[in-house]
């Protein structure tokens, strides 16, 4: 198993500087991580730093609350791809999920999926710490029906991160054809391997180097 290929090397802090983005990209090149995950404002810069490499540029949409309008998420996604993003991690309409309006949740995801070319990976952040198990299942089903590529546990900016129980529940819900990304609080090799064993096919982490170096 190439653990480095599971990792989206992540920096999403509001105060991240261009120097830190450059460092993240250099580390991703050195350790051959799957992608760097950065805020949209850095996509063009990261794409330039990573050109001619296999490291993908991943960015976030409707982040971190998921409470922007669908039209805004669609615009963000199109702009990000136009700037060079290979992967999009979008946050669902969490309020609609809590209200049981699954049609709205699904349509929000579908419009983003349809707004970008087919080769662009769309991951759907369901923010597991704010949902009960039934809601987690329904959110995953909505992402699957909307033809997203992945479901993802967390933004890392809410009340909790990934748990192996949530990853296992998400994997059992979406089956083998979709990806599951464990994100938020995965900070060492042991926890990363635990998430993979539970069904994760990608790990979002700011401590990717620690994970692969242990």
Q: How far apart are CA 133 and CA 138, in angstroms?
A: 9
| Cβ–Cβ < 8 Å for 74, 112 | yes
181 is catalytic: yes
Pick from 100, 178, 170: nearest CA to 137: 170
Q: Is-catalytic flag, 166?
A: no
Catalytic residue, candidates 56, 144, 181, 207: 181
Angle subtended at Cα 16 by Cα 14 and Cα 21, rounded to the nearest 5 degrees: 140
Active-site entry in 56, 123, 152, 207: 152
DSSP single-letter state for residue 201: S
Chain Cα centroid distance, residue 47? 18
Handedness of CA 13, 108, 169, 123 (dihedral sign): negative
Using CA atoms, how far residue 54 sits from 34, 70, 93, 98, 143, in Å, is 8, 31, 32, 38, 27
Q: Which of 8, 89, 108, 149 is catalytic?
A: 89
The contacts of residue 176 (CB under 8 Å, 6+ apart) are none
**Residue 144 falls in the annotated catalytic set:** no
Residue positions annotated with a catalytic role: 89, 152, 181
């Amino acid at each position: 198993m190439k653990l480095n290929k599971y990792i989206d090397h992540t920096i999403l802090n509001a105060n991240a500087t261009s120097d830190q983005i450059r460092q993240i990209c250099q580390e991703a090149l050195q350790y051959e991580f799957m992608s760097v995950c950065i805020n949209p404002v850095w996509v063009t810069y990261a794409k330039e730093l990573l050109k001619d490499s296999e490291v993908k540029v991943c960015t976030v949409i409707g982040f971190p609350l998921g409470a922007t309008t669908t039209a805004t998420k669609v615009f963000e996604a199109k702009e990000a791809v136009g700037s060079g993003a290979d992967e999009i991690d979008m946050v669902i309409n969490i309020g609609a999920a809590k209200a049981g309006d699954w049609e709205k949740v699904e349509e929000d995801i579908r419009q983003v999926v349809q707004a970008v070319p087919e080769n662009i990976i769309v991951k759907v952040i369901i923010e597991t710490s704010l949902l009960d198990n039934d809601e987690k299942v329904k959110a995953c089903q909505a992402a699957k029906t909307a033809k997203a590529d992945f479901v993802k546990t967390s933004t890392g900016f809410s009340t909790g991160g990934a748990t192996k129980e949530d990853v296992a529940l998400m994997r059992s819900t979406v089956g083998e054809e979709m990806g599951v990304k464990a994100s938020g609080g995965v900070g060492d090799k042991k926890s990363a391997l635990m998430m993979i064993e539970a069904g994760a096919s990608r790990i979002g982490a700011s401590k990717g180097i620690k994970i692969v170096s242990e």
